[in-house]
Homo-oligomer: A and B are copies of this chain.
């Protein structure tokens, strides 16, 4: 049996509905297992979970192997981000861990198996892709907000450190405190504390809230406008994808050409009539 026929056989397995359903079931079981492990369990069910865990790992290894062999172009397999992600998660969960300190890490790796639900459902994959696609275009707004945070945090750490080092100890802690202020979480407690020393420090907080709220608002509006434009263009293309775009100008020019043709013809017609008449 050649490599090629093996590949085709595996491709048939991969495209099999029953196989797909089986993989989805295993992924959901693995997600439920992740949840189950957070509960206090009887020793009996604990051993079942360990056993199930191993079984799921085996199935995942088998599934990725099948998908890899089924792929005609081996390089294309690793060019797909989701395949890389699946392989990574499965490979890491294969590493045997005896050290009790790393048990926690091993459990966390298994949590990321839940993300395989996104990789298996095409709609979710598309949704995540569209979310990530919106990110870069917001780059400059995020940079601007970071600068606003940085400047206010530097001022806060300079002025308020002596008042409450837990909140304003250094620039990193100050930025966390400012994020808290931005979410309006007990922000007045923070403000009243500094207002006891600097009575005008409300200007600091109110201007910060104003700037971040305004920048955030602009960001949201930016996304909305962008999404709407994309949608409007998509709708335009859906209407008549192959037709070239025609403007009213072109229609008008066509009408002008018609008019010239008519006038020329009318003129030649008159001439004709004249010649006919003169010919009599």
Contacts and interface: CB of A to CB of B under 8 A. Distances in A.
Interface of A: 31, 34-35, 37-40, 104, 107-108, 111-112, 114-115, 117-118, 121, 123-124, 127-128, 130-131, 134, 140-141, 143-144, 147, 150-151, 153-155, 157-159, 161, 169-171, 174, 176, 179-180, 183-188, 202, 206, 209, 214-215, 217-218, 220-221, 223-225, 227-229, 231, 235, 239-240, 243, 246-252, 254-259, 261-266, 268-270, 272-273, 275-277, 279-280
13 contacts: A38-B154, A104-B158, A107-B158, A115-B147, A183-B209, A221-B224, A224-B224, A239-B247, A243-B249, A251-B251, A261-B266, A264-B266, A268-B269
Given A35-B171, A202-B176, A259 B259 contact: no
A41 to B, nearest CB: 10
Nearest to A261: B262
B227 A221 contact: yes
Q: 8 closest Cβ contacts across the A-B interface?
A: A38-B157, A35-B171, A183-B184, A272-B273, A38-B171, A246-B248, A265-B266, A111-B154
